[in-house]
Structure 1
Amino acid sequence: MRVSEYFNLGRTQGTLDFVDVDTVADIPVYIDPSTIRHLSDDWGQECIFMLTTFFDSVLDAVRLGDKERSAYLLGNLGEPNETHLGISKGKSAGRGFGKQMSQDFAAKLAASQAAKSGLIEDLEDTAFFIDKVDKDIVSDITTNIIRGPLITYTQQMAAVFGIPLLEGVDSGPVWNPQSLKWEQEYIRLPVADGEKLLLVPKLIVRRDLHLSRGEYYKNHLVPALQAEEEADPRSKLVTVLKNGTKKVYRGDIERTYGSSKPDVARETLRRASVYHHYKEVKKGIAPQPISHEELSEVGNTAPPDYKGLLKAVVETPAGKDHAHAYHARVEALLSALFYPSLAMPEMEEDIHEGRKRVDILYTNNATDGFFRFLSRHKIPSQYLFVECKNYGKEVGNPELDQLSSRFSPLRGKFGILACRSFADKERFLSRCRDTAMDHRGFVIALDDSDMKQLVDDVLEAVNWTAPNPAPAEPVAPPRVHDYPLLHDRLKGLVS
């Protein structure tokens, strides 16, 4: 039974910010530290700080030969069954990083020339150079290190979706990046089927790690070896073609140098610059979060029902009595439409020390599309504000001023005002433009008809197929995260 079913959330995976795992078995996705390193929000930065301080401490202990410190640091990495991520069959059973594995990992890391030489700098490097370490182990270790932020995230999602929390649950070891020690306490967490539960953001899970040993070997290490052989007049691997060109075939490289993990580690140690270049290249490429479609496939769940979500919004009766339902249904629709650009929704979030409240507050972690466009054009948008007005009457200046009063250069100066309809839409859009021209921020108003247009645009992109036969001029496919309606509205605010 999934979390959404166990706690009767009335939601499906597409409208949930977290992975809707089975409360007993595992789902085959993994936390990828490289994905976390590309998060720019406060939660992501906290995770990055924890990953960096922990693994630096481990490497310092290894290089100093401090076995006691290494044993302490790695010995507190337990079996993170509470996330239900990975590849266990049946009940989650710590198939990854158990106590024996932590001891083996410490011994292998201590003996690793890659660690001693500085080739291993980050946790994800161990999947390249340490035997029997792969995405499942890296994911489990990452889970342990960022357990503190995952606890905070779980409590936040529990507040958003009404998931009950049990008092006095053992937190498990929590890394303190200031004291560089493990701590443990009793906290409030959800409990399902008698076991504590940690929710994990969809944004940080993938089916495979961003750093790929196969990709590195094929596209970086092998070409480097080919170039060396071609430049060596004594090489026996060089074939001279009829035109006089020297060529070294990939197959000959693989047979001569090998392609196993120990082979890759050995040859990389001799050519550390090749691996460093690969990592620099990958740092410049933001990992793509797992998509709705991928998560549906691996989790055996239905993809988002955009039309059904829209129907729930537009069929909500207008008026104060149905304001809460409208608020929740707008959040469900927008969370599905705007994933993965916008994440970690907070409902009725306090700002200004509780003197003001925001209906919905999203974190903007967009790497492309409209919400990335905002930051590239100097529009503060680390957080995005949404106000929901289920009025049976016209919204006006007070509602617009209420939303813009939530803005600040640090939090963000972009928001969405969701409402039912306008008697004079052009007049209200002009008011939004006045707000922008007065440097009070950017507000895009969306009524029911606009919500329908957003859904139509996303469905067009999701269902797009290339023309057949192909036209003389190539046709660029629509991109899901471009949201042309939002682009047009923003253009109207500044032109």
Structure 2
Amino acid sequence: MLNTYFDSVLDAVRNEDEFRVLSLLGKLREPNETHLGISKGRAAGRALGPKTIGVLAKQLSDSKAARTGLIEDLEDTALFIEGVGKDIVSDITTNIIRGMLIAYTGGVCEFYGIPTEEVPSGFVWNPLNQTWEEDWVNLPVTDTGKLLLTPKVIVRTGLHLTKDEFFSHHLTPALQNEELEKPGSKLVQTLKDGSRHVNREDIRRHYGNSKSVVESLTVERPNLYLHYKSVKCKSHPERITHEDFDSITGSDQTNYYDALRKVLETPLGSDYANQYHSNIEALMTTLFYPQLSNPIKECEINEGRKRVDIRYTNTSDRGFFSWLRTHQIPCKYIFMECKNYSRDLGNPELDQISSRFSPLRGTFGIISCRSFENKELFLKRCRDTALDQRGYIVLLDDSDLIELVESAVEALQAPRETKSAHNVSRTIWEYPLIQQRFDALVS
């Protein structure tokens, strides 16, 4: 969605098609439906209005970086176009992916039983014919107007590419080297030991570091920016944790033990299967975010001929579920079956979940259940399934869930210095029990 839209804008800029540029940018509006950002009182952002769009269109049309191909995507504009920062990038992104957010919101509302009303969609980008369209859609509505829900796994507090980082760590060292090679450069200092040196602050004062300056310097040295982007592509922007969200929104702290208690207190038996199913989903969604997201209960596969109790999308960029991917184990989706039985599980339950696996969907799943008289026997059956190349199945009973929650809480309570330098507390907990169970399948 983002690529087709911004490619269309850049094509129009390079073709000097002012009408096309304005028609593409002119449909962008402040997206108050998401309620991302800060407003006093009602949501009433003013960052992306007609005046801003007109200025943005002119700046893009005049930009050497846009005309020469240095600007390739939306986030590049935050480095080279004056007035474009994370708020503008966020607003434009929301406009472009509005159609996807509408679909996501509809799925969440269906999942949780949230009532919706038919409302105008607003402008929606069509990537096939590369035009804006409008329609009527069903969305939740409150006193503040219609709402668009956003998957928190894609929300960030800042941009991944920044002008200051690029200028300080990539552009400045190159300029220092160039000054050292210039005969008679006034920026070069000779130290007592005879060595020659250029101070970073002298570079900043001499050249400046406004966006227009950075653009001009980078157009003449495009390989520096290409290298910067290649370096950044090897890392991932840090995701906001449960704890970060709780702090930002002023919500009660995420309570892992409360979610666990609801599972453990669910009565045994088929009469309470749906309650157990819902409680397991709530616990697992809490535990596995942000590695797993977008839970779908009773997910249909094979045109509805089969169903999976819960299907998660594997959105991991580190940790166990990312580790599976790097070891060529298909895991686009992670499947879970929930068994609220008062008896031990057997081969039928294993065969049920393994029959949901495929190289395209994924070959890793989890079975949750209550307790076992002969747990070792079932673990051996899981290993047999793996050795027969019918997929990898990890068992989690009530005692295992207690261990998982205790591991998560222990990780969250670890001293800050043992956590990520980017203040991400959840990424250090790598689900040791699940890793151990997987290792037992293949060892």
Matching residue of 2:315: 365
Cα distance in 2, alignment partners of residues 95 and 317 from structure 1: 52
Q: By how many angstroms is 1:301 displaced?
A: 2.0
Q: Does 1:428 align with 2:378?
A: yes
Task: Call closer, same or farther: CA 1:115–1:467 in 2, change over 3 Å.
Answer: closer
By relative contact order (CA 8 Å, sep 6+), the higher-ranking structure is: 1
Matching residue of 1:406: 356
Cα distance in 1, alignment partners of residues 410 and 69 from structure 2: 48
Q: Is the 8 A contact 1:81 1:94 kept in 2?
A: yes
Q: Does 1:147 align with 2:147?
A: no
Matching residue of 2:23: 72
Matching residue of 1:92: 43
Aligned mate of 1:248, from 191, 198, 210? 198
Q: Is the 8 A contact 1:341 1:481 kept in 2?
A: no
Deviations 1:395-420 (A, max 9, x none): 21111111111111100010000111
Secondary structure at the aligned position of 2:406 is classed as helix
Aligned residue identity for 2:84: V
Cα distance in 1, alignment partners of residues 46 and 251 from structure 2: 24
Task: Call closer, same or farther: CA 1:354–1:99 in 2, change over 3 Å.
Answer: same
Aligned residue identity for 2:428: V
Matching residue of 2:293: 343
Aligned mate of 1:296, from 246, 252, 256? 246
Cα distance in 2, alignment partners of residues 410 and 481 from structure 1: 28
Q: By how many angstroms is 1:467 displaced?
A: 9.9
Cα distance in 2, alignment partners of residues 89 and 222 from structure 1: 40
Deviations 1:112-164 (A, max 9, x none): 12211211111011111111110000000000111111111111111221111
Cα distance in 2, alignment partners of residues 419 and 199 from structure 1: 32
Cα distance in 2, alignment partners of residues 233 and 456 from structure 1: 65
Deviations 1:251-275 (A, max 9, x none): 1111111122222222222222211
Aligned mate of 2:225, from 261, 275, 294? 275
Q: Is the 8 A contact 1:340 1:365 kept in 2?
A: yes
Aligned mate of 1:135, from 62, 79, 86? 86
Cα distance in 2, alignment partners of residues 294 and 95 from structure 1: 26
Cα distance in 2, alignment partners of residues 251 and 436 from structure 1: 59
Where in structure 2 are the equivalents of 1:155-234 lying within 5 Å? Answer: 155-166=106-117, 168-193=118-143, 195-234=145-184
Q: CA RMSD in A?
A: 1.7
Q: Is the 8 A contact 2:319 2:430 kept in 1?
A: yes
TM-score of the pair, normalised by structure 2: 0.95
Cα distance in 2, alignment partners of residues 252 and 467 from structure 1: 34
Matching residue of 1:62: 13
Give aligned pairs, total.
437
Cα distance in 1, alignment partners of residues 351 and 181 from structure 2: 69
Cα distance in 2, alignment partners of residues 466 and 62 from structure 1: 48
Secondary structure at the aligned position of 1:333 is classed as helix
Aligned mate of 1:483, from 395, 407, 431? 431
Q: Which consecutive unaligned segments of at least 5 residues does structure 2 have?
A: 419-424
Deviations 1:349-407 (A, max 9, x none): 11111111111100001111100111111211010001111112222111111111111
Q: Is the 8 A contact 2:407 2:429 kept in 1?
A: no
Secondary structure at the aligned position of 1:276 is classed as helix
Q: Is the 8 A contact 1:335 1:343 kept in 2?
A: yes
Cα distance in 2, alignment partners of residues 308 and 212 from structure 1: 40
Cα distance in 1, alignment partners of residues 59 and 427 from structure 2: 45
Task: Call closer, same or farther: CA 1:479–1:70 in 2, change over 3 Å.
Answer: closer
Which runs of structure 1 show a deviation greater than 3 angstroms over 4 or more consecutive aligned residues? Answer: 477-481
Say which is worse superposed, 292-301 or 133-142, in terms of deviation. Answer: 292-301
Aligned residue identity for 2:257: K
Deviations 1:63-84 (A, max 9, x none): 1111111111111112211111
Matching residue of 1:22: none
Q: By how many angstroms is 1:478 displaced?
A: 10
Say which is worse superposed, 231-240 or 369-378, in terms of deviation. Answer: 231-240
Matching residue of 2:396: 446
Q: Which consecutive unaligned segments of at least 5 residues does structure 1 have?
A: 1-49, 469-476
Identity of aligned residues (%): 54
Matching residue of 2:71: 120
Q: By how many angstroms is 1:208 displaced?
A: 0.5
Secondary structure at the aligned position of 2:248 is classed as helix
Secondary structure at the aligned position of 1:247 is classed as strand
Cα distance in 2, alignment partners of residues 229 and 181 from structure 1: 48
Aligned residue identity for 2:221: R
Task: Call closer, same or farther: CA 1:479–1:98 in 2, change over 3 Å.
Answer: closer
